[in-house]
Amino acid sequence: MEDKKELNSEQIEKEQSLVSYLKNQFHQENVDLRTYSPLTLAYIGDAIYELIIRTLLVDEGNMQVNKLHRKATGLVKAEKQSQMIEILKPHFTEDEMQIYKRGRNAKSFTSAKNASITDYRRATGFEAVMGYLYLGGEYHRMIDLIKLGLRS
């Protein structure tokens, strides 16, 4: 039983060191996440959320790439993220809610071509939270929230 605990601790340490290892290897300094603009957090949050969705879909089994793409698109579009945020907001910590609101209210010069402005802004808030959690090394929290949101 104790060996299992050690292995889990090692796995957690490996997972939590991803961003730290990346920064170390490229000689980048740690930056206070609160200083990042919400659109910068959303930029990285969009990418990590899509990577998680793609990983989940690939793990479902081998299938044609165009089918994978269609499934992924349905889960990463602004409308879906907007639906997810309504489920997630009651579960957000105070910091996560603050990041969400900053992302939602950020003035962006782009907009989604197939989404309402409301959905697009809420999706930007969602992506900002994902970016914040990812850069902060809170991978378990990020995945737990995504799992909860995908139940919608």
Q: Is 46 an annotated catalytic residue?
A: yes
Integer-rounded Cα radius of gyration of the chain: 16
How far is residue 48's CA from residue 31's CA, in Å, rounded to a whole number? 19
Q: What are phi and psi of 45, to 5 degrees?
A: -65, -40
Task: Name the percent of the chain in helix, strand, coil, to the closest 5.
Answer: 75, 0, 25
Residue 71 CB coordination number (10 Å) = 16
How far is residue 132's CA from residue 92's CA, in Å, rounded to a whole number? 13
Residue 23 neighbours by CB under 8 Å, 6+ apart: 29, 30
Say which of 3, 46, 59, 119 is annotated catalytic: 46
Active site residues: 46
